[in-house]
């Protein structure tokens, strides 16, 4: 392999992260219930995404769980979600004691198929979760038409999709409630974290309470417990009106997230530019087909998903092509996550023991969503989170060299 003087990835955290963390340390108020950094981050996030409310959480999974509770999902209800996504959509549904209903995907866009959504709706359907997989918005006009037709709320899972637009509308406020992840691989990150955005004040308040131990005095726009000392110390004061969890984001992580938010446009643009370098390389390659991005959608390219159909042309399996790419100097690429219902927790029915009365008659088998199952095995998911475009250019050239090798 020809070695290069490759530019190393520069630090992702180049903004005010350290400065803000020091300020949090100096306050000695490190919990979101006491300090001001979480509130400050939420306000700036809601402004950035043009939403009335933003509620910070400790992960992009707790956001999904809280959103399901907020829109009224109850034990035994059904929640629709796509078959090509991470397990967290399933686990959040199970944590809400609801039944996951899997919907197939569009074969070229890899997002949820609206026609299959409508086919899968039953009287028990209480939420539709759509996932902007790899950074591409779903077909939101069709999804929202179905939502209004049946009176079912839509939860946007935008963990991989920051600042994308669909037909001129900023993603995040098209559905009823939206979830973002701040996990380390995402466009902006504080290590672990998440945010709910919504224009519905009641949903925001319920999310806040679900994530804050069910404290009834928590409001849509403030996660701090504001009580007079006499009231707080009164033995007769009753605090909890909902069953809740501790899903709050600490002041330290909120400070990091705020610094990242200040650079979000730059971080998103870096991913788009990195993706374009690879897209230019594969544009004339018949067996590498990228995720289709319609003219009316804006892909923020959390990653670049490419469908591989080159076994006959190159003589290489998916695994062998990856091995050759690494040998030439590439980073490798990821496979798509396993279809959730084929994960052992679902296929072997390990979830049933949680609530047998609800799940005893719930079964999932291979073939349930054939398009997703077919696409999942072919996807090559290339990273786009290069902090230095020179490194991205080098990796794209490596891919081009490999393509030329098997012409």
- For 127-141, write each residue's pLDDT tens digit: 999 999 999 999 999
In whole angstroms, give the CA distance from residue 260 to residue 266: 10
The per-residue pLDDT for 30 is: 85
What is d(CA 367, CA 365) in angstroms, rounded to the nearest whole number? 6
Residue 87, judged by CB atoms within 10 A of its CB (0-12, 13-18, 19+), counts as middle
Helix axes 17-27, 251-262, angle to 10 degrees: 150
Query: Residue 40: what pLDDT?
Result: 95
- Looking at residue 35, its pLDDT comes to 75
DSSP 8-state secondary structure symbol assigned to residue 398: H
Mean pLDDT, range 310-339, rounded to an integer: 95
Arithmetic mean of pLDDT, 49-75: 97
Tell me which of 286 and 234 has the higher pLDDT: 286
Select from 177, 104, 175, 24 the least CA-distant residue to 340: 104
pLDDT mean across residues, the chain = 93
Q: Tokens in use for 406?
A: 């098997």
Which residue bears the tokens 């999709």? 161
pLDDT for 3 equals: 40
**What pTM does this model have?**
0.94
What is the model's pLDDT at position 13? 66
For domain 266-336+377-405, the CATH class is alpha beta
- The residue among 379 and 387 whose pLDDT is bigger is 379
- CA-CA distance, 135 to 304, in Å (whole number)? 9
- For residues 68-78, one letter each, b for 16 or more C-beta atoms within 10 angstroms of the residue's C-beta and e for the rest, the string is bbbbebeeebb
Could you tell me which of 187, 247, 147 has the C-alpha nearest to residue 385?
187
pLDDT tier at 29, thresholds 50, 70, 90: confident
Kind of pairing between the strands at 288-290 and 303-308: antiparallel
Q: Are 41 and 261 in contact (CB under 8 A)?
A: yes
Residues in the chain: 407
Whole-angstrom Cα distance, residue 341 to residue 42?
Answer: 34
Q: Tell me 309's DSSP state.
A: -
Distance CA 328, CA 125 (A): 49
Is residue 1 pLDDT above 60, yes or no?
no
Task: Return the domain boundaries, the chain.
Answer: 17-263, 266-336+377-405
Q: Is residue 7 very low, low, confident or very high in pLDDT (cuts 50, 70, 90)?
A: very low
Instruction: Give residue 11's pLDDT band: very low, low, confident or very high (50, 70, 90).
Output: low
Please report which helix (H) or strand (E) contains residue 207, including its range.
helix 201-210
Closest by CA to 246, choosing from 115, 65, 406, 40, is 65
Q: Quick one: pLDDT at residue 166? A: 98
- Report the range of poorest mean pLDDT among 34-48, 112-126, 191-205, 269-283: 34-48
CATH topology of domain 17-263: 3.40.640
* pLDDT band, residue 317 (cuts 50/70/90): very high
Task: Say what the pLDDT of residue 108 is.
Answer: 98
Judged against a pLDDT cut of 50, whether residue 2 lies above it is answered with no
Taking 90 as the threshold, does the pLDDT of residue 12 lie above it? Answer: no
pLDDT for 77? 98
Low-confidence winner among 31-35, 61-65, 222-226, 346-350 (lowest mean pLDDT): 222-226
213-217, 319-323, 378-382: which has the minimum mean pLDDT?
Answer: 213-217
Please check the confidence at residue 331 and state whether its pLDDT lies above 60.
yes
């Amino acid at each position: 392999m020809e070695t290069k003087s490759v530019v190393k990835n520069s630090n992702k955290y180049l903004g005010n992260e350290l400065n803000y963390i020091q300020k949090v340390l100096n306050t000695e108020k490190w919990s979101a219930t006491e300090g001001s950094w979480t509130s400050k981050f939420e306000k700036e996030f809601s402004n950035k995404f043009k939403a009335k409310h933003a509620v910070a959480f400790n992960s992009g999974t707790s956001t999904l769980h809280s959103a399901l509770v907020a829109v009224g999902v109850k034990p035994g209800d059904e929640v629709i979600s796509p078959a090509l996504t991470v397990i967290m959509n399933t686990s959040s549904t199970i944590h809400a004691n609801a039944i996951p209903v899997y919907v197939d995907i569009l074969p070229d866009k890899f997002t949820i198929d609206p026609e299959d959504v409508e086919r899968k709706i039953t009287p028990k359907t209480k939420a539709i979760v759509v996932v902007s997989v790899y950074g591409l918005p779903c077909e939101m006009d069709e999804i929202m038409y179905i939502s209004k037709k049946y009176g079912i709320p839509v939860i946007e899972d935008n963990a991989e999709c920051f600042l994308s637009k669909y037909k001129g509308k900023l993603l995040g406020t098209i559905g009823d409630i939206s979830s973002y992840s701040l996990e380390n691989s995402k466009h902006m990150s504080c290590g672990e974290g998440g945010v709910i955005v919504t224009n519905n004040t009641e949903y925001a308040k319920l999310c806040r309470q679900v994530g804050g131990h069910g404290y009834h005095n928590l409001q849509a726009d403030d996660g701090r417990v504001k009580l007079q000392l006499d009231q707080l110390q009164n033995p007769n004061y009753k605090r909890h009106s909902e069953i809740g969890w501790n899903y709050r984001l600490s002041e330290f992580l909120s400070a990091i997230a705020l610094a990242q938010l200040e650079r979000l446009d730059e971080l998103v643009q870096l991913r788009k530019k990195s993706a374009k370098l690879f897209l230019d390389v594969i544009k004339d390659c018949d067996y590498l087909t990228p995720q289709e991005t319609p003219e009316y959608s804006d892909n923020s390219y959390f990653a670049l998903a490419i469908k591989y159909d080159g076994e006959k042309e190159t003589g290489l399996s998916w695994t062998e092509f990856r091995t050759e790419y690494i040998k030439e100097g590439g980073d490798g690429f990821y496979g798509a996550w396993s279809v959730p219902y084929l994960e052992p927790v679902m296929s072997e029915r390990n979830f049933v023991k949680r609530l047998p009365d609800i799940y005893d008659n719930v079964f999932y088998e291979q073939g349930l969503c054939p398009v997703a199952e077919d696409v999942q095995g072919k996807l090559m998911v290339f990273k786009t989170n290069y902090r230095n475009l020179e490194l991205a250019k080098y990796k794209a050239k490596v891919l081009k060299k490999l393509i030329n090798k098997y012409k």
